[in-house]
Amino acid sequence: MSQHVNMTSNMTCEFSHVDELMKVLELVFYIPIFVFGLILNIAALVVFCGLLRKKTESTIYMMNLALMDLLLLFPLPFKMHATNNKWDPNLQGLCSVLEGLYFYGIYGSIYIIMCIAVDRWVAICHPFKAKELRSPKMAVGACVVVWVLVFAAIFPAMSQLKRHKDPKEPFHCFHEFSKNGWQPAIIISVQVFGFVVPALVVVCCSAKIIWALQQSGQHSSQSRACVKIIYSSLCAFLVPFTPSHLGIFLQFLVHQNVIHDCGAQTSISLFLQIAMCLSNITCCLDAMCYYFIAREVRSTRHKKLTVQQNTVSKTVKYEQISQIPLAQ
């Protein structure tokens, strides 16, 4: 997302000081995000794949969200290296794959979080239809659709971001994208389908769920856990992705020559790059969802075991009583 010099109609704006600042800030952001994100998401996969043997809709979505987060985390060390070092021209192919995985992880996470919000909305606001619309198989199907659609959208779009410089020259991976990437059709599609539509779905579903729980007057531990899951999903969605997509829109206005002032362009460039760094924090914020989902599943399983034990206990007592001979 870096741009060293931006040409306007009447002036040249210099961004080298922004790039120098970002070399430091990216390390400050990326190192803790990579370390904690890797630990949290691997732990989540161990819990949801191994420890929680029974797969529910929630655990299936969480497993896929953890996988998306790992896809986002995998390119971060390469991204940190590319910020301070130019790559050999022979690594263009590797760079394209890493860039694709990075954006795949971002938009895959967005759509998995949207699926979680819709799943919760169906379960709570439409309980009678939930038996038809919710099942582990349906959750797997929804996740497969997300993986396929995001792949179909991301990798063709990456071809528009290819650099138009001499392919024999060293280059900065994750930087120096082609101006074709800022075409109105691409940016509008990214903004509408990559953020606005999923954001509206997540916010609307979350608001309806919270309203339904408040109207029901339920204050059980299960309803409280559900509210915590909703708020954590909202946080994991809005906090990382709202600033980055706002920054993309402002940078789009710069490329369309709507914003001419060099000071404003410099501020927008810095804001966008910091926002893109912060968007990676979704890998850590998703851990809140993992925690509350795991607690919910464990609590549900504990209640079922308690009910089964009580049923067995009552059955045994009944059999013992029935064997007592009647008084002669």
Domain layout of the chain by residue ranges: 5-303
Question: Rounded to whole angstroms, how far apart are CA atoms 222 and 134?
Answer: 18
175 — pLDDT class (breaks 50, 70, 90): confident
231 — pLDDT class (breaks 50, 70, 90): confident
Residues 135, 182 contacting (CB under 8 angstroms): no
- In this predicted structure, what is the pLDDT of residue 96? 86
180-222 per-position pLDDT tens digit:
778 898 899 999 999 999 999 999 999 999 888 888 776 666 7
Instruction: Look at residues 112, 119, 127 and name the one whose alpha carbon lies nearest to residue 68.
Output: 112
80-111 per-position pLDDT tens digit:
888 888 888 888 888 888 989 999 999 999 99
CA angle (89, 92, 93) in 5-degree steps: 140
- In this predicted structure, what is the pLDDT of residue 162? 63
Question: Rounded to whole angstroms, how far apart are CA atoms 123 and 215?
Answer: 16
Reading phi first (left if > 0) and then psi (alpha if -120 to 50, else beta), residue 220 is in beta
- In this predicted structure, what is the pLDDT of residue 71? 94
Exposure string of 316-328, with b = 16+ CB inside 10 Å and e = fewer, is: eeeeeeeeeeeee
What's the mean pLDDT when you consider all of the chain? 82
Residue 326 confidence (pLDDT) above 50: no
- In this predicted structure, what is the pLDDT of residue 271? 95
* Full-model pTM: 0.83
The percentage of residues in the chain with a pLDDT greater than 90, rounded to a whole number, is 41
- In this predicted structure, what is the pLDDT of residue 297? 63
Angle between helices 184-191 and 221-255 (to 10 degrees): 170
The winner for highest mean pLDDT among 7-11, 220-224, 265-269, 309-313 is 265-269
The winner for highest mean pLDDT among 238-247, 255-264, 283-292, 297-306 is 238-247
Tokens of 7: 């040409």
Give residues with Cβ within 8 angstroms of 234, minimum separation 6: 202, 203, 206
- Continuous segment of H or E residues that includes residue 43: helix 16-46
Domain 5-303: top CATH class: mainly alpha
Beta strands 12-14 and 5-7, pairing class: antiparallel
26, 50, 88, 175, 270 from 81: Cα distances, Å: 10, 34, 13, 12, 19
169 — pLDDT class (breaks 50, 70, 90): confident
